[in-house]
Structures are given as C-alpha cells and as structure tokens.
Structure 1
Amino acid sequence: MLEVMRTRIKDHTEKVKKTAKEVNKEIRKHIITAVTAAFAFMIALFWRDLIQEGINKLIENVGANGDSYFYKILMALVVTVICVFGIVFFARLEKKDLGEGTKESEKKKA
C-alpha cells in the first residue's frame, strides 16, 4: 500500500514538473513576442514621423496649405493601400513557406 502511494506521488510529481516546464516555455514565448512587438512598434513610430514629415514637405511644395487636410487624407489612403498590399504579400509568402495553399498540400489533405 505504501509503495503504491509512493508511486502515485512520484507520478504526480513528474506531471507537475512537466507542466511547470511547459508553462515556463509558454511564458517565455509570450514575453519574446511582446518584446518583439514593442521593437516593431518603436520602428513604426519612427517611420510614422518620417512619412509625416515627408507629407508635410510635399504639401508645402505644392503650396496647398489651405487644403492640407485633403492631402493628408489622400496620403493616408495611399499609405493604407500600400500597406494592405504588403500585408497580403507577406501573408501569401508565409503560406507558401508553410506549404499551405499549394497543390501538393491540397492533395495530401484529400
């Protein structure tokens, strides 16, 4: 009886250790993702400043100070379209790298 209890305790201890390692791995993964996102956000802020300064210079050169709101909307639309194309491109690239969406992977699913 005592031996059975020891075996059960040992099994539970191993399960707890395994679960703790998995949780530690998950936490580490999420921390890395958060730090990476923070760096990406910082990069985006610098690009935002650069693009904003470029748009302001363009508006000054065109001489459309009164219509600058219209040009800002127009430039926001242009930047949005370019970014959407970039997102689609990289999403397709990721699918291609993972083997999704190819004829071979669809044959394997069937």
Structure 2
Amino acid sequence: MTNVETKLDQNGKGAFKLYEDKTELGEMVVRVDDGKLTVYHTEVVPEEEGKGYAKQLLKAVVDYARAQHLQVIPLCAYVHAQFRHHPEQYADVWTESAN
C-alpha cells in the first residue's frame, strides 16, 4: 500500500514523498510561500514509472493546496501538462503567476 508524506521545512521548502512500505518511490519538490504552492519537479524511480505514482503525488499536492487555500504554480512539466489537459479539475487552484 502506498502513502504520501508531506515534508516541508520551516521556510516552506520540501517535497511530497510517495512510499510503499518504507521504500520511497517518488517525490514532488515544492515550496509553499505567500499563499502559493510552487511545484518544481516530479520524479518517480525509473523501475516504477507508468504505474500512476506521479498522479498519486499530484492528487496529494492538489488536496493539500485546497485544504490550505493555496494557489498552485505548476513549474514542473508533468504538473503543468496535467493542468493544461484537465483544466476543469484544477481551475480552483491553478495559477501561472508568482505574483
């Protein structure tokens, strides 16, 4: 069974990390600052790609953003592509502005 843990430092920098048991399978590198959650990078270990783990990470990030009333800046290519392809799912959290 997989689970996602949010690991942010006192400055809001960190990652959402996906684990199966105690093995890390992937992460989304983020920063939370000034009402915004910026996603910089998504990575899944190569042997686990194609199993939907990036989508699980994205769901966790978006759920977190909604719960914390944050706007998401998708600098990560994967997240930006998902937002572009499914704008109706992310319209409430998607912003392209860092301002």
- The two structures share one fold, judged by TM-score above 0.5: no
Indicate the structure with greater strand content: 2
Using CA pairs below 8 Å that are at least 6 residues apart, which structure has the higher relative contact order? 2
Indicate the structure with greater helix content: 1
Q: State which structure, 1 or 2, has the greater radius of gyration over its C-alpha atoms.
A: 1
